[in-house]
Amino acid sequence: MCNTVLRELHWAGIVFGATTGLVASMALFALSGPLGGNLIVLIVIALAGFMSAGYVAGRFSLVHGIVAGRIAGLIQFFAIATFMVVVGTNPNVVGLAVLGALAIVGGAAGATWADKRRSA
């Protein structure tokens, strides 16, 4: 069952969605200016990026859109976490766990939104 689902996913759309989410997050962070240091603003920016990743991945996937959205959010999360480690920000394990959960929920929410738009 799991292998069938993975084969049916549109992987180019998932990678494009994760890239779109990263670009959206970076653009929102750049536009946030002095508010960018506030934790709530950073969480909202991350959620918007994960939702945009899930939306794009969900629009490209004709089947298993929510799974595609979650994977796109997790790919974006992996890129952000890797960047944090490479830069040397010394990330918090609890913070990374919360960000990972936010990636799954945000990606699924974006994919659900894309599915509703497609069916309308």
pLDDT in tens, 27-48: 998 888 777 678 888 889 999 9
pLDDT score of 103 more than 70: yes
* Chain segment 46-95, per-residue pLDDT in tens: 999 999 999 999 998 877 889 999 999 999 999 988 888 888 777 788 98
CA distance 96 to 75: 14
Dmax over CA atoms of the chain, in Å, equals: 48
Tokens (6 digits) for 56: 């794009």
pLDDT score of 120 more than 70: no
- Domain ranges in the chain are 15-119
